[in-house]
């Protein structure tokens, strides 16, 4: 049995989806263990191009069992749309290859409304939420007002709880936000409808994983977002509301006793960030626009233009550390091919001092980036499949990153397609 986690090292959008799609062929089970429909894992393969919001990226591999673990929050309406879209493209989705943890939390219609109401109230101090109800759903989980997917299998129990929860929820909606209350009849109808659609998918994913372990099967944990958006270790409060760290994989999947043997940290060859919060190496103006266009940096889940800048070694080294990554997949190297020289952020200065490690948000907000320039390679590398064939400047860029973050770069992705990958160590 082997286990592996594919995780984001930075602010998300590093290209985790394409890496899971690539690597899932060697695994029996792929688990999304946190987050919700705010993910947008882009996968391009023989079925087409998809931005997967909820469904694990292993869904395209016929023999893989895909799990939405107890650490996730699931908008069933969104899941219904997503499964339909995939089925239309010819992807098989049944209760045999997609499983929903009975302990996963449900994102209800009022969570999305509350997300929007709060972002609107915050105005220019907003957190940059995707407004998919993720924060409100996780808050309800921890305040014990959430609804677990497994409760859909017990309608009487569910309706009783919903009555109490809704009474409490409407206090906030009406009195704090001066908005319209949600009706029990609407929400219960919504729940009953999706219970009918998904009840055969809901199960105890823990026993499934334990059985898989006994049978020597391999398990891949697929993270959403990146280390810097982690609720505990990220740029709080500009974080997500969950834990995209590899260490949480087994907990959010259903079997906390499992260990993660390998952690593949996905790093983009430059930086990008959706939403608010300090982003030290950020570029503005023409340089930013050129890079944004070259990398097509527009949010997969929201279409929002992403903030962009050079690769940030301090932030990346921190991400590698908290993820416990033992190797790196460096994605989108091909995007940098247009640059004469490639800036690399090698550290920060804050209040006259050089920072040795990634700081807490208040100090981060005052940090200034220190850049060095690496020579560009100015040639198309998208057809190259071995490290030794890469131009010397591209090799040096990879070697510098390895040195600064103290972690080997095992995969180099040079295009969005499944096979546009250099696997180091085996073929040069
Ligand atoms: P994720 O959320 O971490 O899976 O990342 P996203 O899907 O939000 O963003 C990654 C984007 O980059 C997607 O549009 C991918 O198709 C694309 N992509 C991934 N790897 C490469 C690469 O090596 N080169 C190029 N040009 N695009 C890539």
DSSP 55: S
**Which pLDDT value is given to residue 40?**
82
- The answer to whether 413 and 20 have CB atoms below 8 angstroms apart is no
What's the domain range around 147?
105-198
**Which pLDDT value is given to residue 268?**
98
- The answer to whether 221 and 260 have CB atoms below 8 angstroms apart is yes
State the pLDDT confidence band at 428, using cuts at 50, 70 and 90: very low
Question: Which of these, 97, 313, 309, 49, lies nearest to 200 by C-alpha position?
Answer: 97
- Written as six digits, the tokens of 218 are 């391999």
Annotated catalytic residues are 13, 41
Note whether 275 and 359 are same-domain residues.
Answer: yes
pLDDT surpassing 50 at residue 427: no
Note whether 183 and 293 are same-domain residues.
Answer: no
pLDDT, tens only, 42-92: 888 899 999 899 999 899 998 999 999 999 999 999 999 999 999 999 999
Question: Which of these, 338, 344, 332, lies nearest to 281 by C-alpha position?
Answer: 344
pLDDT, tens only, 354-401: 998 999 999 999 999 999 999 999 999 999 999 999 999 999 999 999
Q: What is the CATH number of the domain that holds 212?
A: 3.40.440.10
User: Sign (positive/negative) of CA torsion 240, 241, 246, 250?
Assistant: negative
Note whether 94 and 207 are same-domain residues.
Answer: yes
CA atoms of 323 and 263, how far apart (whole Å): 7
Note whether 133 and 217 are same-domain residues.
Answer: no
Candidates 15, 303, 332, 412: which one to mutate for ligand 1, based on the most atoms within 8 Å of Cβ?
15
DSSP 21: H
The packing angle between helices 184-198 and 155-171, to 10°, is 140
Note whether 287 and 347 are same-domain residues.
Answer: yes
Ligand 1 binding pocket (C-beta < 6 A) is 8, 12-18, 40-42, 44, 300, 331-332, 334-335, 413-416
From the alpha carbon of 49, which atom of ligand 1 is closest? Answer: 16
In this structure, is residue 157 part of a structural domain? yes
Question: Ligand 1 mean position to 148 CA, how many Å?
Answer: 32
In this structure, is residue 428 part of a structural domain? no
**Which pLDDT value is given to residue 365?**
95
Q: What is the CATH number of the domain that holds 275?
A: 3.90.170.10
Which of 9-23, 249-263, 292-306, 366-380 bottoms out in mean pLDDT, i.e. has the lowest? 292-306
**Protein residue with its CA nearest to atom 16 in ligand 1:** 416
C-alpha separations of 268 from 178, 196, 333, 335, 411 in Å:
43, 41, 8, 10, 11
Question: Which of these, 386, 392, 275, 397, lies nearest to 342 by C-alpha position?
Answer: 397
**Which pLDDT value is given to residue 38?**
87
**Protein residue with its CA nearest to atom 20 in ligand 1:** 416
Q: End of a domain among 154, 181, 198?
A: 198
- The answer to whether 306 and 272 have CB atoms below 8 angstroms apart is yes
**Protein residue with its CA nearest to atom 28 in ligand 1:** 416
C-alpha separations of 134 from 127, 212, 285, 406 in Å:
13, 30, 32, 34
Question: Ligand 1 mean position to 52 CA, how many Å?
Answer: 12
**Which pLDDT value is given to residue 300?**
64
pLDDT surpassing 50 at residue 32: yes
Q: What is the CATH number of the domain that holds 150?
A: 1.10.300.10
- The answer to whether 141 and 103 have CB atoms below 8 angstroms apart is no
Question: Number of structural domains, the chain?
Answer: 3
Which whole number is the average pLDDT over 199-212?
97
Note whether 292 and 415 are same-domain residues.
Answer: yes
In this structure, is residue 120 part of a structural domain? yes
pLDDT, tens only, 215-272: 999 999 999 999 999 999 999 999 999 999 999 999 999 999 999 999 999 999 999 9
Which whole number is the average pLDDT over 312-322?
98
Question: Ligand 1 mean position to 296 CA, how many Å?
Answer: 9
Question: Ligand 1 mean position to 399 CA, how many Å?
Answer: 22
Which whole number is the average pLDDT over 26-40?
93
CA atoms of 18 and 182, how far apart (whole Å): 39
Strands in 33-159 per DSSP E: 41-45, 48-52, 65-68, 73-74, 98-101, 105-106
Mode of pairing for the β-strands spanning 41-45 and 3-8: unpaired
DSSP 70: T
In this structure, is residue 170 part of a structural domain? yes
């Amino acid at each position: 049995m082997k286990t592996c986690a594919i995780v984001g090292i930075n602010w998300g959008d590093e290209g985790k989806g394409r890496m899971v799609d690539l690597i899932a062929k060697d695994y029996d089970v792929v688990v999304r263990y946190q987050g919700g429909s705010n993910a947008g894992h882009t996968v391009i393969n023989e079925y087409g191009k998809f931005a997967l919001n909820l469904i694990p990226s292993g869904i395209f591999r016929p023999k893989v069992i895909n799990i939405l673990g107890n650490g996730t929050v699931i908008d069933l309406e969104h899941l219904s749309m997503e499964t339909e879209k995939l089925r239309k493209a010819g992807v098989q989705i049944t209760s045999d290859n997609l499983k929903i943890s009975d302990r996963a939390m449900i994102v209800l219609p009022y969570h999305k409304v509350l997300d929007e109401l709060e972002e609107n109230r915050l105005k220019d101090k907003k957190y940059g939420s995707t407004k998919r109800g993720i924060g409100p759903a996780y808050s309800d989980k921890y305040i014990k007002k959430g609804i677990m997917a497994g409760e859909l299998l017990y309608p009487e129990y569910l309706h009783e709880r919903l009555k109490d929860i809704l009474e409490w929820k409407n206090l906030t909606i009406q009195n704090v936000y001066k908005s319209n209350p949600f009706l029990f009849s609407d929400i219960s109808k919504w729940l009953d409808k999706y219970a009918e659609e998904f009840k055969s998918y809901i199960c105890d994913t823990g026993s499934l994983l334990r059985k898989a372990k006994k049978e020597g099967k391999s398990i891949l944990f697929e993270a959403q977002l990146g280390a810097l958006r982690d609720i505990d270790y990220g740029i709080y409060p500009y974080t997500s509301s969950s834990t995209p760290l590899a260490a949480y994989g087994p907990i959010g999947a259903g079997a906390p006793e499992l260990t993660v043997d390998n952690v593949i940290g996905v790093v983009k060859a430059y930086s990008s960030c959706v939403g608010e919060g300090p982003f030290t190496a950020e570029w503005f103006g023409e340089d930013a626009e050129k890079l944004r266009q070259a990398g097509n940096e527009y949010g997969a889940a929201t279409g929002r233009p992403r903030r962009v800048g050079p690769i940030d070694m301090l932030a990346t080294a921190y991400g590698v550390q908290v993820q416990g990554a033992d190797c790196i997949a460096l994605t989108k190297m091909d995007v940098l091919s247009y640059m004469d020289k490639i800036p690399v952020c090698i550290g920060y200065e804050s209040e006259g001092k050089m920072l040795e490690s990634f700081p807490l948000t208040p100090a981060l907000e005052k940090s200034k980036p220190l850049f060095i320039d690496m020579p560009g390679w100015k040639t198309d590398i998208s057809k190259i499949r071995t490290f030794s064939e890469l131009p010397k400047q591209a090799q040096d860029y990879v070697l510098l990153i390895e040195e600064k973050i103290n972690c080997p770069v095992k995969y180099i992705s040079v295009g969005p397609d499944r096979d546009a990958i250099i696997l180091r160590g085996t073929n040069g």
